[in-house]
Structure formats: C-alpha cells, structure tokens
C-alpha cells in the first residue's frame, strides 16, 4: 500500500506538473477530471489539500473514491470530510468552489460502483486488496 510519504510525493509532483505547464497539463488523468480537494483537518483545523480524480460526475457534482490504493485504512481527506463536510473544490484550474461532501448511500454506491469500475478497472483492483468497503463520496455545490 502507498505510504503517507509516497502519497504526499505524488501530490507534490502533480502540483509541480500543473505549475510548470501553467495548468495546461495535469487536469485530466486516465480519462477522468482531476480536482483539488481542500478539507479542514479534523485535528489541526488547518486547510488540507490533495489532488484526486473523479471517475463519475453527476450534474454539477463530482464523485470521488476513498480508495487509498486499496489500503485497509481510509485516506486522511476522507476522515477530514467526515468530521467537516464543508469543502473547497477546484477543477480545471478554475477558482475553488464551496461544496458539501457526503458519503454515498448504500443504494447510490450499488448503482455507481459498477459504472466506475467498468470505466476504471483500477478501482475494482483496489477493492480486492482490502476488506473495507471503499467509500464513494459525492461533492455537491452549495
């Protein structure tokens, strides 16, 4: 499973790519839009940002997958938004927008998961690596 250091290094590399290309490269990955999610640290109260892909968009909302590469632990950003669902999201280099995060209901997950894994088989592989059910999160504009 990816270490915290590896995840932070990937995020830093992604930000460097965006910076050196003046945002022309890095806002799409594997056929998915990339977004910058900013949560409030559940312990620190400080803003925490990470780069994520959205394999499914619903209206003006974005579905993100709390996979952490198939790790048995939830990603920190997921724990943060559980504590405070008010988040900021930037997509395509546009300004951040306020959004509300919520975990998909069991019915929503049952509907969305096959669509996501059909288009992005990597997520199905992540689910096989762990016994936890990987949550799906819907980010909705407020």
Q: What is the pTM of this model?
A: 0.86
Angle in degrees, CA 40, 44, 47, rounded to 5:
35
Q: Which of these CATH numbers, 3.40.50.620, 2.30.110.10, 3.40.1000.10, 1.10.357.10, describes 4-141?
A: 2.30.110.10
48-68 pLDDT per residue, tens? 999 999 999 999 999 999 999
- What pLDDT shows up at residue 30? 80
> What residue segments make up the domains of the chain, in order of their start?
4-141
Give CA–CA dist 50/30, Å, rounded: 17
Report yes or no: 29 and 53 within 8 Å, Cβ to Cβ: yes
Enumerate residue ranges in the chain where pLDDT < 50.
Answer: none
- What pLDDT shows up at residue 25? 59
């Amino acid at each position: 499973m990816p270490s915290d250091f590896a995840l932070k290094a990937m995020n830093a590399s992604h930000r460097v790519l965006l910076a050196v290309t003046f945002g022309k490269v890095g806002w799409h990955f594997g056929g998915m839009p990339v977004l910058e999610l900013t949560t409030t640290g559940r312990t620190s109260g400080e803003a925490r940002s990470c780069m994520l892909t959205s394999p499914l968009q619903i209206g003006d909302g974005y579905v993100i997958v709390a996979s952490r590469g198939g790790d048995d632990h939830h990603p920190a950003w997921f724990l943060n938004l559980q504590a405070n669902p008010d988040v900021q999201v930037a997509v395509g280099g546009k300004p951040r927008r306020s959004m509300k995060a919520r975990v998909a209901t069991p019915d929503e997950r049952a509907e969305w998961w096959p669509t996501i894994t059909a288009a992005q088989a990597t997520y199905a592989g992540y689910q096989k690596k762990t016994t936890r059910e990987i949550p799906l999160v819907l980010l909705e504009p407020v």
